[in-house]
Amino acid sequence: MNSRLCLIFLFLQISGLIVGQEYTTGLHFNEAVKMEAERLELEDKDTRSLSKERAEKILLPFFDDFTSSNIFPNQKLWDGYSVFVNKDFPFMPINTGSATLDAIDSTGSVYSDASWIPFMADELRTQYIRLDSIFNPVPRQLSPADSVYLSFFYQPQGVGDAPQLNDSLLLEFSRETGQIIFSHVDSVQVPAEIYLQSSSDTIWPLDTLWAPLGCNPEVFTINYKIIVWGDIIDVACDSIFVPEVIWDPIWYSEGETFDEFREEWGQNMKQISIPILDSAYYNDKFRFRFRNYASVSNNNYPPSWKSNGDQWNIDYVYLNYNRSVSDTTYRVLTFSQRAPSFLKDYEVMPYSQYRYSPLTNTKPELKMYISNLDDIEHNTQYSYEVSQVNGNFGFQYDGGSCNLKPFYEIGFQECIGCGAAHSCPPVNSLFSLDYDRDTTSYIIKHFISDSSDQNSIVDSIIYRQGFYNYYAYDDGTPELGWGVDGAGGAMVAYQFSLNMPDTLQGVQIYFNKTLNDVNEFYFDLLVWNDNNGRPGEIIHRMEGQKVSWEEGLYSFYPYLLDEPLILSGTIYVGWEKQQKDNMNVGMDANNDRHNRIFYKTDIDWQTSNVSGALLIRPIIGSNLILSTEDQLSTLKNSKLIIFPNPTSNGFTIGNSELLTDNNLELTIHNIFGQLVYSEKGKINQIDVSSLVNGIYIIKAKSNNNYYSAKLLVN
CA angle 69, 72, 73 (to 5 degrees): 65
- Residue 5: pLDDT band (50, 70, 90) is very low
> What mean pLDDT comes out for the span 427-448?
91
- Residue 66: pLDDT band (50, 70, 90) is very high
Q: Which of 64, 99, 59, 75 is nearest to 286 (CA)?
A: 59
> What mean pLDDT comes out for the span 393-407?
95
Look over the chain and give the mean of its residue pLDDT values, rounded to a whole number: 87
Q: Tell whether the torsion through CA atoms of 545, 551, 555 and 561 is positive or negative.
A: negative
Q: Give the side-chain half-sphere CA count within 13 A for 311.
A: 27
Going from N- to C-terminal start, the domains of the chain cover 29-178+244-253+265-320, 179-242, 337-468, 480-620, 636-713
CATH number belonging to the domain at 480-620, selected among 2.60.120, 1.10.287, 3.40.50, 3.40.630: 2.60.120
Among 4-18, 340-354, 432-446, 535-549, whose mean pLDDT is lowest? Answer: 4-18
Are 185 and 219 within 8 A, CB to CB? yes
Q: Give yes or no on whether 480-620 and 636-713 have one common fold.
A: no
pLDDT more than 90, % of the chain: 60
**CA–CA separation, 224 and 219 (whole Å):** 17
- Tell whether the model's pLDDT for residue 630 goes beyond 50: no
Q: pLDDT digit string (tens) for 549-567?
A: 887 788 899 999 988 898 9
- Residue 518: pLDDT band (50, 70, 90) is low
- Tell whether the model's pLDDT for residue 3 goes beyond 50: no
**CA–CA separation, 22 and 459 (whole Å):** 40
**Please, what CATH class does the domain formed by 29-178+244-253+265-320 belong to?**
mainly beta
- Tell whether the model's pLDDT for residue 351 goes beyond 90: yes
Q: Which of 517, 621, 586, 352 is nearest to 597 (CA)?
A: 586
Are 560 and 506 within 8 A, CB to CB? yes
Q: Which of 89, 90, 80, 84 is nearest to 71 (CA)?
A: 84
pLDDT for 640 equals 85
pLDDT for 602 equals 84
Residue 492 neighbours by CB under 8 Å, 6+ apart? 484, 574, 575, 577, 585, 597, 598, 599
- Tell whether the model's pLDDT for residue 633 goes beyond 60: no
Are 69 and 317 within 8 A, CB to CB? no
Q: Which of 358, 366, 361 is nearest to 339 (CA)?
A: 366
SS (H, E, C) 164-229: CCCCEEEEEEEEEEEEEEEEEEEEEEEEHHHCCCCCCCEECCCCEEECCCCCCCCCEEECCCCEEC
pLDDT for 626 equals 30
**CA–CA separation, 509 and 547 (whole Å):** 9
Among 73-87, 508-522, 592-606, whose mean pLDDT is lowest? Answer: 508-522
- Residue 418: pLDDT band (50, 70, 90) is very high
Are 584 and 484 within 8 A, CB to CB? no
pLDDT for 421 equals 96
Report CA 559 to chain centroid distance, whole Å.
23
> What mean pLDDT comes out for the span 561-584?
88
- Output phi, psi for 448, to 5 deg: -130, 135
Q: pLDDT digit string (tens) for 285-344?
A: 999 999 999 987 644 445 445 577 789 999 999 999 999 999 999 999 999 999 999 999
Are 710 and 560 within 8 A, CB to CB? yes
pLDDT for 462 equals 95
- Tell whether the model's pLDDT for residue 191 goes beyond 50: yes
**Please, what CATH class does the domain formed by 636-713 belong to?**
mainly beta
**CA–CA separation, 596 and 120 (whole Å):** 39
Strand 458-468, strand 348-350: pairing: parallel
**CA–CA separation, 457 and 483 (whole Å):** 45
Are 490 and 601 within 8 A, CB to CB? yes
CA dihedral 204, 207, 213, 216 (to 10 degrees): 150
Q: Which amino acid is at 136?
A: N
**CA–CA separation, 319 and 147 (whole Å):** 11
**CA–CA separation, 96 and 338 (whole Å):** 7
- Measured between alpha carbons, how far is residue 152 from residues 67, 94, 293, 309, 696 in Å? 15, 11, 19, 22, 50
Residue 487 neighbours by CB under 8 Å, 6+ apart? 577, 579, 580
- 570-589 CB burial, b ≥16 within 10 A, e <16: bbbbbbbbbeebbbbbbbbb
Are 473 and 346 within 8 A, CB to CB? yes
Q: pLDDT digit string (tens) for 101-118?
A: 999 899 888 888 888 888
Where is 598: in which H helix or E strand?
strand 597-600
Among 48-62, 124-138, 208-222, 572-586, whose mean pLDDT is lowest? Answer: 48-62
Q: Which fold has domain 337-468?
A: Immunoglobulin-like (2.60.40)
Does the pTM surpass 0.75? The reply is yes
33 or 422: whose pLDDT is higher?
422
- Residue 669: pLDDT band (50, 70, 90) is confident
